[in-house]
Amino acid sequence: MIPVDLVEIERKRALGEWEPLEDRLREAGFAPTGPVVEVDTYYSRPDVDFLETVECLRVRESAGRCEVTYKPASDGGAHGAGGVVAKQETNVALADGGEAAHAHRLLEALGMVLLARVEKSRTCYRAPGRPDLSVVVDAVAGVGSFVETELVSSDEREDVVRRLEEVERLLGLEALPVVTLPYRDLVLAAAVSRGAAEQGPPADGAVHR
């Protein structure tokens, strides 16, 4: 859980082969935790489209645990150059995984709108003596694999981004494509693409716009 006075700064990249990165992580002294399956359910308000505001309201279920997370709307300072994202999170950890059903019922009772469910297998790597740093490898169902470099700090943003870039260089991540969309949006876009593919072209062969 992230303390309220700290900000998480992260960058996500598309990941092809896992093995070279795993080798570099081990060589750099990172130790893995997981993999753990996480199921994230995203909601929006009926009067505000969180896809447009880039807000996040999420219930995360994982290995008998449950957590509700809110990330505020993006402003000019949240998304920096090169796909770096800096946001403060509000996390509420529930007593156990069985509380997830109550969390969903509460949000539905408040009129929140279900947006998407994201299922992923996550492995988190941490380096000794660096509680502020994590490298996360995710295999997201229906979308692909990704690596996120994350730093949690109250320092000046420029200093934290510099440290993040140093970790990326150490692990050879600079050449991987930067991904700016949240997993929620990627899963929704993939579902739309699959629906269009299943529908196929118009029966009359014409192109309709």
Amino acid at 139: A
Question: What is the reported pLDDT for 80?
Answer: 60
Burial string for 164-179 (b: 16+ CB within 10 Å, else e) reads bbebbebbebeebeeb
Q: With CA atoms as reference, report the closest residue to 140 among 192, 187, 188, 71.
A: 187
Which tokens sit at 10?
């992260």
Q: Quote the CA–CA distance of 135 and 10 in Å, as a whole number.
A: 10
Q: How far is CA 28 from the centre of its chain?
A: 24
Question: What is the reported pLDDT for 77?
Answer: 58
pLDDT per 10-residue tile (average), the chain, 209 residues: 68 93 95 94 97 95 92 73 83 88 96 97 93 95 96 86 94 95 95 76 45
Question: What is the reported pLDDT for 1?
Answer: 46
Question: What is the reported pLDDT for 205?
Answer: 46
Question: What is the reported pLDDT for 203?
Answer: 53
Question: What is the reported pLDDT for 2?
Answer: 47
Q: Quote the CA–CA distance of 22 and 27 in Å, as a whole number.
A: 9
Question: What is the reported pLDDT for 204?
Answer: 52
Quick one: 7-198 is in which CATH superfamily? Hypothetical Protein Pfu-838710-001 (2.40.320.10)
Tell me how far CA of residue 115 lies from CA of 35, 44, 66, 183, 188, in angstroms: 25, 7, 18, 12, 8
Which tokens sit at 109?
């009772």
Q: Quote the CA–CA distance of 132 and 147 in Å, as a whole number.
A: 17
CB 102 within 8 A of CB 116: no
